[in-house]
Chains A and B, each alone.
Chain A
């Protein structure tokens, strides 16, 4: 598949390590072995081969080690040589499964200890003062000298290499200019010695630095996330900025004027960045590096996809129909792939603004993973006022508005002719399914990701995770398991976690990743039979939960 082709080319360095280069040789396990075992996991497209893939699928730690990085993160050659993935096959997957129970007994004690510690840290009150409703000028910024400001669980700062503030998640950038100056001083101080600062760990806080010249991104977090995961989120923020400006323009600006105040150009985009950070704290899409589909009968989805496919134009590259943050259908130009990161950025753009509800928007947008040097033009509109169904048509030609707008009209006409309108409306009424449908009493929630398609499925988060904090706590547990499973120095394939309020199980193979959360009273044996049942259920429902036959124009 296309994704695998990329991997073979070595574009991707999965699990790129941010860990200090202490000479510890990485023993890799997230072995995305190309070609093998792909027929086994549910949710994978039937049409194997190049055209079957929806995305260029990657878990994007590669960004941290990519050449454009400017050498900020240097991996030792030994580490690189240690890369070849261990062979995996279909048999191995089934063997994995049978061995699951035996392996799980070897659950490390320190894991539990670690969890308890981080849970203690979580009990502190977290103030909910955000600036969602920021008004243009008089937006209410927090006083950065107050304790409430310090109590935020995750701060994010963006600054230029001259130390000028570009963005702060909480509090005004002006008030923080001296803080940001200190951050830049730290970065520069180490760079003078030909070193790079990656993180500072102190007092339950992680301070993570990501250097993306001409910007520096810093997070100060006391979440349970690993350093890599925080760095990954910072990269998203960087890509978010690129999507507004392009890499070329960003560099050009700072080449012209080193102490340029980038906030001038980013004015009005704070809301988009804020929204992205909030979304990352709630939506497992970002953690999984995958996209969730709206559950939809295969026949309806096919009708939608075909209608989209037929409403094409020469300049169109991607036609995307989405609802909430779920994908309904995606049609792409042959040989052009959309990276999940780019799609996440598009989802975020749409969910952060209500301005698309009116009329038809036509906006320049850079898809940084696709091409960070230029703008596409996106036609964004909702199909109907009251329906949460947004159509995104990505074109290469900025003069092509009326042609693309006509594509929308044609798409709607075809949709009407095929009479799927009603079925779509019906599906939108229940955008999430309940875990009860699976029929496993102790099962509370799960995340299943099909690696080859870059899609994942997950039920609605239900009781006892009702309050926002509880939901975030659950995602925090997944984040923790995910970071353990993908730890670059000691990756794990199976994790069984017993907590005071729930039990969790993680299972990572070359074809899929599965995380389940179930009752604390359940047994390990129960969990394993639950996994078995769950996999069967997903396979049965796969044509509803996934897009199995991606279309091209």
Chain B
């Protein structure tokens, strides 16, 4: 089972065609496929090992399908996720609206999930600045508001992709260390109260 062990579940969400699969492909296989668009069916799982300091962290990455058809199912993919990379296409403002939808959904259903906003296809902006359809500062403000990290990436050139996943892994290490500290206390309290309740029910 050791090969299968995953430390942190990471989920990619976002409108179809924003480049979630390309992001994963760049991160895991270090390549970019320019070929015809292939939509993801359901969701794809890959494991990626990263090192943070002296520790290694295995991210279990769920690349979900953006199609509306799978929306009802999406919960099984993000349930229990420690991090969510919510993608939008920098050249398409409607995809950012969709990203906001996912952020809301995560805030309501997965409190423990850290959110990383990821604007994709930044290489297209380098070709032509006028293509930008989502303002950098707007997203920054929004990210602050929802306490999310914020990256602009290009899977084609690889820009910021490693940084994004490295940040996810680092935050996981930091956060889980923090959680271990707080958890011990929490467990004590919980045990007390539950035994108390247990007694209650019996009398």
Q: Are B69 and A267 in contact (CB under 8 A)?
A: yes
Q: Are B36 and A134 in contact (CB under 8 A)?
A: yes
Q: Which chain B residue has the least Cβ–Cβ distance from A355?
A: B38
**B38 to chain A: which residues have CB within 8 Å?**
353-355
**A519 to chain B: which residues have CB within 8 Å?**
none
A135 touching B45 in the complex, CB below 8 Å, given contacts A364-B70, A406-B4: no
Q: Are B45 and A405 in contact (CB under 8 A)?
A: yes
Comparing B60-68, B133-141, B142-150, the segment that makes contact with chain A is: B60-68
Q: Which chain B residue has the least Cβ–Cβ distance from A399?
A: B76
Does chain A have a CB within 8 A of B3?
A: yes
Q: Are A363 and B16 in contact (CB under 8 A)?
A: no
Q: Are A133 and B4 in contact (CB under 8 A)?
A: no
Does chain A have a CB within 8 A of B158?
A: no
A358 touching B4 in the complex, CB below 8 Å, given contacts A264-B68, A267-B16, A268-B16: no
Does chain A have a CB within 8 A of B37?
A: yes
Does chain B have a CB within 8 A of A409?
A: yes
Interface string of A352-383 (1 = CB under 8 A from B): 01111011111111000000000000100000
- Report how far A361 CA is from B62 CA in the complex, Å: 9
Q: Are A360 and B65 in contact (CB under 8 A)?
A: no
Q: Shortest CB–CB separation between residue A532 and chain B, in angstroms?
A: 47
Q: Are B44 and A361 in contact (CB under 8 A)?
A: yes
- Report how far A132 CA is from B63 CA in the complex, Å: 24
B50-80 at interface with A (beta carbon < 8 Å): 63, 65, 67-70, 73, 76
Does chain B have a CB within 8 A of A102?
A: no
Interface string of A60-76 (1 = CB under 8 A from B): 00000000000000000
B1-26 at interface with A (beta carbon < 8 Å): 1, 3-4, 16-17, 21, 24-25
Specify which of B4, B29, B65 is in contact with A402 (CB 8 Å cutoff): B4
Q: Shortest CB–CB separation between residue A372 and chain B, in angstroms?
A: 16
Does chain B have a CB within 8 A of A401?
A: yes
> Count of chain A residues with Cβ under 8 Å from any Cβ of B?
36
Does chain B have a CB within 8 A of A466?
A: no
- Report how far A365 CA is from B42 CA in the complex, Å: 9
Q: Are A398 and B69 in contact (CB under 8 A)?
A: no
A136 touching B42 in the complex, CB below 8 Å, given contacts A244-B69, A265-B69, A409-B3: no
Counting chain B CB atoms within 10 Å of each CB, the highest count among A266, A358, A364, A406 belongs to: A358
- Report how far A352 CA is from B200 CA in the complex, Å: 60
Q: Are B69 and A362 in contact (CB under 8 A)?
A: no
Counting chain A CB atoms within 10 Å of each CB, the highest count among B25, B38, B65, B76 belongs to: B38
Does chain A have a CB within 8 A of B160?
A: no
A353 touching B41 in the complex, CB below 8 Å, given contacts A134-B36, A265-B69, A268-B65: yes
**B49 to chain A: which residues have CB within 8 Å?**
none
Interface string of A125-136 (1 = CB under 8 A from B): 000000011111
**B41 to chain A: which residues have CB within 8 Å?**
349, 353, 355-356, 361, 363
Does chain A have a CB within 8 A of B157?
A: no
- Report how far A356 CA is from B69 CA in the complex, Å: 18
Specify which of A271, A361, A401, A406 is in contact with B1 (CB 8 Å cutoff): A406
Specify which of B21, B28, B46, B69 is in contact with A355 (CB 8 Å cutoff): B21
Q: Shortest CB–CB separation between residue B6 and chain A, in angstroms?
A: 8
Q: Shortest CB–CB separation between residue B11 and chain A, in angstroms?
A: 12
Does chain B have a CB within 8 A of A489?
A: no
Interface string of A429-443 (1 = CB under 8 A from B): 000000000000000
A409 touching B65 in the complex, CB below 8 Å, given contacts A134-B36, A358-B25: no
Does chain A have a CB within 8 A of B39?
A: yes
**A355 to chain B: which residues have CB within 8 Å?**
21, 38-41, 44
- Report how far A354 CA is from B40 CA in the complex, Å: 9
Does chain B have a CB within 8 A of A145?
A: no
Does chain A have a CB within 8 A of B113?
A: no
Does chain B have a CB within 8 A of A177?
A: no
A402-459 at interface with B (beta carbon < 8 Å): 402, 405-406, 409
Q: Are B37 and A398 in contact (CB under 8 A)?
A: no
A360 touching B45 in the complex, CB below 8 Å, given contacts A136-B39, A354-B38: yes
Q: Are A266 and B69 in contact (CB under 8 A)?
A: yes
- Report how far A264 CA is from B76 CA in the complex, Å: 21
Does chain A have a CB within 8 A of B173?
A: no
**B67 to chain A: which residues have CB within 8 Å?**
265, 267-269
Does chain B have a CB within 8 A of A256?
A: no
Specify which of B17, B21, B29, B46 is in contact with A360 (CB 8 Å cutoff): B46
**B124 to chain A: which residues have CB within 8 Å?**
none
Q: Which chain B residue has the least Cβ–Cβ distance from A377?
A: B42
Counting chain A CB atoms within 10 Å of each CB, the highest count among B17, B36, B46 belongs to: B36
Q: Are B43 and A245 in contact (CB under 8 A)?
A: no
Q: Are A360 and B70 in contact (CB under 8 A)?
A: no
Q: Which chain A residue has the least Cβ–Cβ distance from B39?
A: A268
Does chain B have a CB within 8 A of A137?
A: yes
Q: Shortest CB–CB separation between residue B70 and chain A, in angstroms?
A: 7
Q: Are A362 and B1 in contact (CB under 8 A)?
A: no
Interface string of A247-279 (1 = CB under 8 A from B): 000000000000000001111110100000000
- Report how far A530 CA is from B42 CA in the complex, Å: 49
Q: Are A359 and B73 in contact (CB under 8 A)?
A: no
- Report how far A538 CA is from B72 CA in the complex, Å: 49
- Report how far A133 CA is from B37 CA in the complex, Å: 8
Q: Are B17 and A136 in contact (CB under 8 A)?
A: yes
Q: Are A398 and B76 in contact (CB under 8 A)?
A: yes
- Report how far A361 CA is from B68 CA in the complex, Å: 18
A133 touching B44 in the complex, CB below 8 Å, given contacts A355-B21, A406-B4, A409-B3: no
Q: Are A401 and B69 in contact (CB under 8 A)?
A: no
Counting chain A CB atoms within 10 Å of each CB, the highest count among B1, B39, B76 belongs to: B39
**A406 to chain B: which residues have CB within 8 Å?**
1, 4
A128-178 at interface with B (beta carbon < 8 Å): 132-137
**B70 to chain A: which residues have CB within 8 Å?**
364
**B68 to chain A: which residues have CB within 8 Å?**
264-265, 267
- Report how far A431 CA is from B42 CA in the complex, Å: 29
A-B contact list, 28 entries, CB within 8 Å: A133-B36, A135-B36, A136-B37, A265-B67, A267-B16, A267-B69, A268-B67, A269-B69, A353-B39, A354-B38, A355-B21, A358-B25, A358-B28, A358-B44, A359-B44, A359-B45, A360-B44, A360-B46, A361-B40, A361-B43, A362-B42, A362-B44, A363-B65, A378-B42, A399-B76, A405-B4, A406-B4, A409-B4
Closest A-B pairs by Cβ, 5 of them? A363-B42, A268-B39, A359-B46, A133-B36, A136-B17
A135-B36, A268-B16, A398-B76 given; name 19 further pairs at CB < 8 Å. Answer: A135-B37, A244-B69, A264-B68, A265-B69, A267-B16, A267-B67, A268-B65, A268-B69, A269-B69, A271-B39, A353-B38, A354-B38, A356-B41, A358-B24, A358-B28, A361-B40, A361-B41, A364-B70, A405-B4
